[in-house]
Amino acid sequence: MREIRFRAWDYTQNKIRIVTDLMSVCDGSWNVSYDGGENYTGDIVLMQYTGLHDKKGKEIYEGDIIRECYTIFPDDMEVFISEVLFQNGSFQLSGEDYEPFSGESSMCSIKSTDLEVIGNVWENPELLGGAA
Q: Is the pLDDT score of 22 beyond 70?
A: yes
**Model pLDDT, residue 111:** 63
What pTM value is reported for the model?
A: 0.77
Q: Is the pLDDT score of 62 beyond 90?
A: yes
pLDDT, tens digit (0-9, with 9 covering 90-100), for 72-119: 666 777 778 889 998 777 788 875 444 444 334 444 445 666 789 999
% of the chain at pLDDT higher than 90: 26
**Model pLDDT, residue 24:** 79
Q: Where are the beta strands (DSSP E) in the chain?
A: 6-10, 15-24, 30-34, 39-41, 44-53, 59-61, 64-73, 76-87, 90-94, 115-120
Domain residue spans in the chain? 6-128
